[in-house]
Amino acid sequence: MSTEAKTVSVVIPYLNEEEALPVLYERTCKAFEALPEEVEFLFIDDGSRDGSFEWVYKTAQSDPRVKYIKLSRNFGHQAAITAGMAHASGDAVVTIDADLQDPPETIPDLVAKWKEGFEVVHAVRTTRKGETGLKKFFAFAFYRIFKKITEVDMVSDSGDFRLLDRKAAAAISQLREHHRYMRGLASWIGFKQGSVLYDRDPRYAGEKKYTFKQSFVLALNAIASFSGTPLRLIFYLGGWICALSLAGCIAAWIYHAHYGHPKHIGTVTLAFATLFITGLQMFCIGIIGQYLRRVFDEIKDRPLYLVQSDNLPPSR
Ligand code: UDP
Ligand code: MG
């Protein structure tokens, strides 16, 4: 890592965060006052319909450190982060949520770790305030299951608040897969990885923008893009069901040879067994479908996002 590194880009993807953005900007400016590095703000508008973009646009007129990219519609948080990372010019790139759940005051800790020589610095949540018990439970379970079934050495409890050295950011920008799980990719690229701890605050204002469905899809993307375990499991499951039913047939045949016809054939049991196996088959096909859908999207190879306007220099 170069010791003359001077600029840190702060990438802020946002969707309708007009109340939080000015406060985030103020607090981030303050956090950088104590640092020798310059800050570059890179706001990514992910299809906002409130006054967020107007505020960013206005602020960019008075502060040359403020850059923005306005996407042509809502492409999703992960695509917005990707856009930011691809166009950030800093020697290091910090990605942070716009809703102030990730406190900007933690940025100096990330920068300090970077200066120690770490090229990917994950901010790891010690506590999560203002989130429902169910969300915490799902998040806790997900990170642990994910860690078990993937080959990537993932950091648990780290969201999309992290710092990447320029080299690491360039490496991630090369990965153009469509169903992106950025925290997985940030671990997958390797380099020297480190982490700092922080307390996650409640959202500053407004509603959360990730619906339950979006969070679920993100979890599916994480698993489908980093693990073949579900495919392997259904392969084994199918094998076991075949083996067990064959054993059952042989047992019934022996029983029949010794004792003649069993009295009850058990129609209900049979009906349920059939339903169960049919359901199981559909579920397994569904799992394969999840992978196939992703293959389909990769083959189409559409751009990950489209830019409507920006104030970047022409070279970027
Ligand atoms: N976000 C975005 N596009 C989306 C959804 C969310 O840019 O389609 C932004 C949102 O404005 C926020 C960050 O992603 O800055 C995290 O979203 P949210 O706070 O809703 O997620 P949570 O913290 O609940 O996981
Ligand atoms: Mg949030």
Residue 221 in domain: yes
At 140, the amino acid letter reads F
Kindly state the helix (H) or strand (E) to which residue 224 belongs, with its residue range: helix 212-226
Residue 279 in domain: no
Q: Reduced to 3 states, what is the DSSP secondary structure of residue 7?
A: strand
Nearest CA to ligand 1 atom 3: 77
Tokens of 164: 């990447």
The arithmetic mean of pLDDT across residues 72-98, rounded, is 95
Q: How far is the CA of 210 from the centre of ligand 2 (A)?
A: 8
At residue 265 the predicted structure's pLDDT band, cuts being 50, 70 and 90, is: low
Q: Is the pLDDT of residue 213 over 90?
A: no
Q: How far is the CA of 101 from the centre of ligand 2 (A)?
A: 6
Task: Report the CATH number at residue 134.
Answer: 3.90.550.10
Ligand 1 pocket mutation, candidates 77, 212, 217, criterion most atoms within 8 A of CB: 77
Residue 26 in domain: yes
Ligand located closest to 15 CA: 1
At residue 273 the predicted structure's pLDDT band, cuts being 50, 70 and 90, is: confident
Residue 223 Rama label (left phi>0; alpha psi -120 to 50; beta)? alpha
Q: Is the pLDDT of residue 304 over 70?
A: yes
- pLDDT at res. 250: 85
Nearest CA to ligand 1 atom 13: 97
Q: Say how far apart CA 10 and CA 38 lie, in whole Å.
A: 10
Mean pLDDT of the chain: 89
The arithmetic mean of pLDDT across residues 50-57, rounded, is 96
Q: Is the pLDDT of residue 201 over 60?
A: yes
Quick check: 119 and 92 in contact, CB under 8 A? Answer: no
Q: Say how far apart CA 251 and CA 261 lie, in whole Å.
A: 13
Q: Which domain holds residue 110?
A: 7-227+302-310
Ligand 1 pocket mutation, candidates 21, 24, 95, 99, criterion most atoms within 8 A of CB: 99
- pLDDT at res. 191: 94
CA geometry: angle at 293 spanning 290 and 294, to 5°?
90
At 9, the amino acid letter reads S
- pLDDT at res. 279: 84
Q: How far is the CA of 305 from the centre of ligand 1 (A)?
A: 16
At 254, the amino acid letter reads I
Residue 264 in domain: no
Residue 102 in domain: yes
Pocket of ligand 1 (CB under 6 A): 13-15, 17, 46, 74, 76-77, 80, 97-99, 101, 203, 208-210
Which residues have CB less than 5 Å away from ligand 2 (the ion)?
99, 101, 203
Quick check: 178 and 79 in contact, CB under 8 A? Answer: no
Ligand located closest to 159 CA: 1
Kindly state the helix (H) or strand (E) to which residue 67 belongs, with its residue range: strand 66-71
Residue 38 in domain: yes
Dump pLDDT digits (tens) for 122-160.
999 887 777 788 888 888 888 888 888 887 888 878 889
Q: Is the pLDDT of residue 111 over 60?
A: yes
Residue 180 in domain: yes
Say what the pTM is.
0.82
At residue 274 the predicted structure's pLDDT band, cuts being 50, 70 and 90, is: confident
At residue 235 the predicted structure's pLDDT band, cuts being 50, 70 and 90, is: confident
Tokens of 186: 């940030």
Quick check: 189 and 171 in contact, CB under 8 A? Answer: yes
Alpha carbon 260 to its chain's center: 60
Q: How far is the CA of 303 from the centre of ligand 2 (A)?
A: 26
At residue 3 the predicted structure's pLDDT band, cuts being 50, 70 and 90, is: low
Quick check: 96 and 161 in contact, CB under 8 A? Answer: yes
The arithmetic mean of pLDDT across residues 51-66, rounded, is 96
Atom of ligand 1 nearest to the CA of 15: 11
Query: What count of other Cβ atoms lies within 10 Å of the Cβ of residue 251?
Result: 10
Please choose, from the candidates 96, 271, 305, the residue with its C-alpha nearest in 3D space to the C-alpha of residue 201: 96
Q: Any idea of the CA torsion for 114, 116, 118, 120, to the nearest 10 degrees?
A: -20
What share of the chain in percent tops pLDDT 70? 96
- pLDDT at res. 227: 87
- The number of domains in the chain is 1
Ligand located closest to 20 CA: 1
Quick check: 73 and 42 in contact, CB under 8 A? Answer: no
Please choose, from the candidates 196, 156, 193, 182, the residue with its C-alpha nearest in 3D space to the C-alpha of residue 85: 182
Residue 293 in domain: no
Atom of ligand 1 nearest to the CA of 13: 7
